[in-house]
């Protein structure tokens, strides 16, 4: 816990100042929702669809991606659904307070409280990568919260633990204190290095890195070491497949998931289908936005 406290305690002490800077940097339609252990930064975009019941697609940007990276995609998605974007605690401008704990149970309680309070359902949860396991766990505990599940670049528990070994083979980031100190000094370089490794569309490298660097300059956080240490562990929760319709999406050029058995993700839901994005790396929704929008539109018709 010492390493995680190194990330969260400083953010808690200057919490109000960072939120003030974040509000000055954020655009007008981005808001902040205060909870006992974290302040979540979110954006809600209302659909222009004529559907009588318009579901809300809930997206947690996959760090270091932030809300701003979704600016173009939401304009096409809003033709089919509402969109609710919020950043994961400890990343972007979703700033933890001093009593925040980086574990699955606490995160899912935060998500449940937030989604109930915002009251924009019915929800389709699109929590990518490791957060996809949180989405399935959240639906398992709160089935009333979601009518659909999108698992983008989400591996099962076993494959997620193996994935951690791929992205941190020497266990440097996974070592408490050492990982936090490394991230603190090399955050911008590691962000660019991550994008360079996992993006299939290299034209996105500079603009995506620039958005992150500008956010960091204004007080954004990137608690990756704490995330790996607190979340990607054998203590990840296990549960039976959820009974919610699910769409599993995999970008096929993600170098960090070469050994992941993509079909295993289907086991997380009793009603899941798999789509492969052949021109994407780790971010298929952002690298192939037209195909992603088309897939979401079709999925919505069946939930």
d(CA 118, CA 128): 21
Q: Is the pTM of this model over 0.75?
A: yes
The pLDDT mean for the chain works out to 92
User: What is the per-residue pLDDT for 20?
Assistant: 87
Q: How far separated are the first and last CA of the chain, in Å rounded?
A: 40
CB atoms within 10 A of CB 281: 24
- pLDDT higher for 153 or 4? 153
Instruction: Name the DSSP letter for residue 84.
Output: E
User: What is the per-residue pLDDT for 12?
Assistant: 65
Picking from 149-153, 179-183, 210-214, 293-297, which range would have the lowest pLDDT averaged per residue? 179-183
- pLDDT, tens digit, 9 for 90 and up, residues 41-80: 999 999 987 766 789 999 999 999 999 999 999 999 999 9
DSSP 3-state assignment of 149? strand
pLDDT at 208 over 80: yes
Query: CA torsion 52→112→248→299, rounded to 10°?
Result: 0
Tally the C-alpha atoms within 13 A of residue 47's C-alpha that lie toward its C-beta: 20
Task: Please write down the long-range contacts of 107-112, taking CB distance under 8 Å and 24 or more positions apart.
Answer: 107/134, 107/231, 108/134, 108/137, 108/138, 108/141, 110/35, 110/37, 110/38, 110/40, 111/138, 112/138, 112/141, 112/142, 112/145
93 backbone dihedrals φ, ψ, rounded to 5°: -110, 20
C-beta of residue 287 within 8 angstroms of C-beta of residue 198: no
Give the total number of structural domains in the chain: 1
Encode burial over 108-129: b for 16+ CB neighbours within 10 A, e otherwise.
bbbbeebbeebebbbbbbbbbb
Looking up residue 47, the CATH number of its domain turns out to be 3.40.50.1820
Q: Which domain holds residue 247?
A: 2-300
């Amino acid at each position: 816990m010492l390493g995680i406290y190194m990330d969260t305690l400083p953010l808690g002490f200057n919490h109000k100042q960072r939120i003030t800077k974040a509000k000055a940097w954020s655009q007008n339609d981005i808001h902040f929702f205060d909870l006992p252990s974290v302040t979540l930064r979110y954006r809600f975009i209302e659909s222009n669809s004529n559907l009588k019941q318009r579901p809300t697609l809930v997206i947690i940007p996959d760090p270091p991606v932030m809300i701003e990276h979704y600016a173009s995609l939401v304009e096409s998605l809003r033709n089919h659904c509402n969109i609710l974007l919020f950043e994961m605690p400890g990343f972007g401008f979703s700033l933890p307070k001093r009593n925040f704990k980086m574990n699955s149970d606490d995160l899912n309680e935060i998500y449940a409280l937030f989604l109930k309070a915002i009251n924009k359902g019915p929800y389709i949860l699109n929590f990518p990568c490791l957060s996809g396991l949180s989405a399935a766990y959240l639906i398992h505990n709160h089935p009333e919260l979601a009518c659909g599940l999108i698992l983008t670049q989400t591996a099962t528990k076993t494959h997620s633990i193996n994935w951690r070994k791929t992205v941190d083979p020497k266990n440097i980031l996974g070592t408490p204190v050492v990982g936090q100190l490394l991230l603190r000094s090399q955050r911008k370089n590691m962000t660019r290095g991550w994008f360079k490794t996992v993006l299939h569309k290299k034209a996105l490298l500079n603009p995506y890195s620039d958005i992150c660097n500008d956010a960091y300059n204004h007080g954004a956080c990137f608690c990756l070491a704490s995330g790996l240490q607190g979340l990607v562990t054998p203590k990840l929760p296990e549960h039976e497949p959820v009974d919610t319709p699910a769409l599993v999406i995999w970008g096929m050029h993600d170098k960090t998931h070469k050994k992941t058995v993509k079909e295993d993700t289907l086991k997380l839901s009793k009603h899941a289908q798999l789509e492969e994005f052949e021109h994407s790396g780790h971010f298929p929704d952002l690298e192939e936005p037209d195909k992603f929008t088309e897939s979401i539109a079709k999925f919505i018709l069946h939930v």
